[in-house]
A and B are shown apart, each in its own frame.
Chain A
Amino acid sequence: MIGLGHYLILAALLFSIGLVGVIRRKNLLMLFFATEIMLNAANVAFAAISSYYHDLSGQMFAFFIIAVAASEVAVGLGLLILLYKKYGTLDLDNFTMLKG
């Protein structure tokens, strides 16, 4: 039997990987992938805790996170399409008009 800690550390690591991606990526689409990883990390954590505590709230939370992730993808893609249509690029280095 694997301890809860293992799952949680895995979740933490996945989150960190997501974070690295978020920090590293300049292409917005790829960046969104990384945010998905972050959300999934949380899902793993919730599912594991839920399972170990025999409590359903965690699974519910994970379920809603998935729903949120789906919605975010929809909106995010909409935005990306808009940006791509207008500017022909998804590199966030190109969007630095607003600053200071």
Chain B
Amino acid sequence: MDGIHDLGGMGGFGPIEVERDEPVFHEPWERLAFALNILGITAIGAYNADEYRHAVERMDPAHYLAASYYERVLTGAATLLVEKRIVTHHELESGAGGLFPLAQPVAENPTADLKPQTQARFKVGDRVVVRNVFPAGHTRAPRYVRGKRGVVLHIAPAFSFPDGSAHGLSARSEHTYHVEFPARELWADSAGNDESVVVDLWDSYLEAR
């Protein structure tokens, strides 16, 4: 999904505010929200980390940007606990004494048709291009590298394919690659010529060039 979460390269944002000696959690409810999400993934086992990421991505973009990080965590966890029928939206709003906004529903056909790659197809130094696909559901190839050409720096172990595991599809693992893209390949002349971005991409996302 080309959602608001896919922020790499978006303009219009201002300075980055750094807080000195920042605590791990600023308020008790942030601590609680963090732990509730871990509970949902592990002790309750209602959803996995890919489903969680996608639930956050499905938040209304205005809510996503207005929310602090732990409000996004809370919204993602609550959305999945409602979708998995552990709690109801009505119960949540009764308990909260007001609106409890959840994320948008999952798309009808969330996954693109990407052929599973059980063997690592690429090696260090290979020149690759990111496939030009537009899955309506979860994917981890950021929009800013779609169709862009890079070079493999490193091969990581096989990991669960997120486009599938976020949508309850059968287990599928693939190697990921650290692929380096010159900044000028990504952003044309507006980028420095001594800068690059390395993106960690599953085998299925890539094609040889």
User: Are chains A and B native binding partners rather than an unrelated pairing?
Assistant: no
